[in-house]
Amino acid sequence: MIDLSATQVAASQVARPPAPAPAGRWRKLARTLLRGERPYMLYVAFAILLVVFSLASPWFLSVDNFLNIGRQTTLVSIIAIGMTFVIIARQIDLSVASTLALSGMAAALAMAHIDNNWVVGAIAGLGTGALVGLLNGILTTQLAIPSFLVTLGTLSVARGLAMMITNTKPVIITNETYFAVFGEGSLFGVPAPIAWTLAAVIVGILLLHYNVFGRRIYAVGGNPTAALYSGIRVRRVTTLAFVLTGLLAGLAALVLSARSHAARPDVVQGMELDVIASVILGGCSLFGGRGFILGTLLGSLIIGTLNNGLVLLGVSSPMQLVIKGAIIVAAVAFTKR
């Protein structure tokens, strides 16, 4: 029989406050919304966007348009999963769009020169993305160069290499299996791009929330000095976050090149803005130590919906950039509260 002392009983009573009444729960939810807690604000922001664009455009609220949003969001969602790890670790990767372009070219060229083998092409694309991520991680951690400057440089280098190796010409892909696996087919009854996105989300959740690597990412982002003194290899953890982001940029390159039947060196310029915006809107702190994968997924859906709605309303591309930039600034300012 367990014998609790009077002190223990009193402590347990203090540690377990009474459950709030239903009216108290509603007041608590209202206070949370007014304080701007991210998960709730995300749902509210997404709902407001849906209502506003539904009223503003008769073409927005249709199945075809939502499928279009899903297709447009796939690439951003996949890369944003990796970017979540990088930003939680107090870093940033501006080179993801260029990494995607270079990885797509590597996959297409590998297939063109090695028996049109789609497996070789996939390995080449993923490997190229991972190598760019590794380079970013090594330069950032070993040379103590801010990741903003490192990835700004590799953004230019990767894009330039993608243009140089084919003299800015696209490389046509003809492998039908490659199209089916990454672009036009389905995996377990799910369209391939969406299946790969879901796979990236599941792996991201397992790594970040149910694995020691995820706990170390949070520790490094929360307080790198304390993480170092507690025995965490901060440089290695940070570098792995960059490698994961590069690998997912490579996966996005396979999806894009399979969907368009070609690899182009000038694709998705400026996509890094959408990726970073998705992560920040999804509740990840740009100052590290906070973020979650499902929030990032919802953030990418918000960005995709915003892009789609602005196009339907006839907003020009420059103005879209202005609006998205303003959203990022507002989200970062919100994060500092």
Residue-wise pLDDT for 219-259, tens only, equals: 999 888 898 898 899 999 999 999 999 999 999 999 999 99
Query: What pairing do the DSSP bridges indicate for beta strands 171-172 and 186-187?
Result: unpaired
Q: In angstroms, what is the C-alpha Rg of the chain?
A: 22
The pLDDT score that the predictor gives to residue 334 is: 65
Q: Express each pLDDT in 194-207 by its tens digit.
A: 899 999 999 999 99
Q: Cα separation of 95 and 87, whole Å?
A: 14
Tokens linked to 20? 């709030």
Q: What pLDDT does 322 receive?
A: 85
- Give yes or no for a contact between 33 and 41, defined as CB atoms under 8 angstroms apart: yes
CA distance 6 to 227: 39
pLDDT digits (tens, 9 = 90+) for 75-112: 999 999 999 999 999 999 999 999 999 999 999 999 99
- Give per-residue pLDDT as tens, 304-332: 888 888 888 888 888 887 887 787 677 66
Tokens of 7: 């002190």
pLDDT at 283 > cutoff 90: no
Q: How far is CA 265 from CA 64, 105, 106, 167, in A?
A: 29, 7, 10, 9
Q: What is the per-residue pLDDT for 207?
A: 94
For residue 85, give the 3-state DSSP assignment.
helix
DSSP per position, 169-230 = --EE---HHHHHHHTSSEETTEEHHHHHHHHHHHHHHHHHHSSHHHHHHHHHHH-HHHHHHT
CA dihedral 301, 306, 309, 314 (to 10 degrees): -150
Instruction: Return the DSSP state at 16.
Output: S
DSSP calls for 87-119: HHTT---S-HHHHHHHHHHHHHHHHHHTTT-HH
Look at residue 335 and tell me whether its pLDDT is greater than 60: no
SS3 of 287, please? Answer: coil
pLDDT class for 190, splitting at 50, 70, 90?
Answer: confident
Least confident range from 4-13, 159-168, 200-209, 217-226: namely 4-13
* CB-based contact 116:174 (threshold 8 Å): yes
CA distance 247 to 261: 21
Contact 261, 176 (CB under 8 A): no
Mean pLDDT, the chain, integer? 84
SS3 track for 244-274 = HHHHHHHHHHHHHHHHHCEECCCCCCCHHHH
Most distant pair of Cα atoms in the chain: their distance? 80
pTM listed for this prediction: 0.82
